[in-house]
Amino acid sequence: MVLPRGSIEPSTSSPDLASLIRSVAGGNQQDMTALYHSSSRLLFGLLMHILKDAGTAEEVLLDVYTQVWRQAAQYDRSRGAPLAWLITIARSRAIDRLRSGHQERIRSQPLETISQRAGSSNVEEEANLAEMQTMVRASLGEIPPEQREVIELAYYGGMSHTEIAAKVGLPLGTVKTRTRLGMMKLREMLKPTIGGVL
């Protein structure tokens, strides 16, 4: 397996990830590169959110795609979307890296320092949050732009339906309808991964 080095930019097209994974399972290196270009930017963002270090995130990203190359045949679309599978692998690898680094720090610290810090950070909880945020951002990119706009203004901009209607110059009823339809689509896309959170 040969992956592009020093590049995490996705291609401009949006290929079917499930088809690419099936092809990778058959040993197709060209489709492995296509899969990398289609998903690495998103996974790198997740890894950065969890690991907080670009160099470490790049190392773990390579580990992620090495695992994908080896385990592509195990992917089962009936158990989740391709992107969810990739995110799960990335999250698991990031947590493993954090835990291994944490163990090294513990060995080099005095006992009293360790006891003071016990329970101060929850790696699993932070990774869960980062995974959910990544999935929501990716899913937002899949809904119609007019629905995405009102949802982003509401949830990221903190605006009410009335404020959104005034900002975008639409009737209040239209804003509410677009928000409702967009949230329904998001809920459907995210259901296999995060259940009934939305």
The tokens describing 107, both together, are: 């060995």
Please check whether residue 37 is in contact with residue 10, taking contact to mean a CB–CB distance below 8 angstroms. Answer: yes
The pLDDT, as a whole number, for residue 71 is 94
Torsion sign (Cα): 132, 138, 141, 142: negative
Helix (H, G, I), strand (E, B) or coil at 166: helix
**Which helix (H) or strand (E) covers residue 151, if one does?**
helix 145-155
Token pair, residue 99, equals 């835990």
Which of 24-33, 44-53, 76-85 is least confident?
Answer: 76-85
What number of other Cβ atoms are within 10 A of residue 165's Cβ? Answer: 18
Query: CA-CA distance, 184 to 167, in Å (whole number)?
Result: 23
Q: State residue 23's pLDDT score.
A: 94
pLDDT of 2 reads: 55
Domain ranges, ordered by start, for the chain: 1-134, 141-198
Number of Cβ atoms within 10 Å of the Cβ of 183: 17
Domain 1-134 shares a fold with domain 141-198: no
Fold of the domain built from segment(s) 1-134: Rna Polymerase Sigma Factor; Chain: A (1.10.1740)
The answer on pLDDT for 94 being more than 70 is: yes
Q: Which two tokens stand for residue 111?
A: 């006992």
> Which of these, 62, 24, 27, 30, lies nearest to 43 by C-alpha position?
62
Pick the CATH number of 141-198 from 1.10.10.10, 3.40.50.300, 1.10.1040.10, 1.10.3720.10: 1.10.10.10
Give 32's pLDDT tier (boundaries 50, 70, 90): very high
Q: Is the pLDDT of residue 102 over 90?
A: no
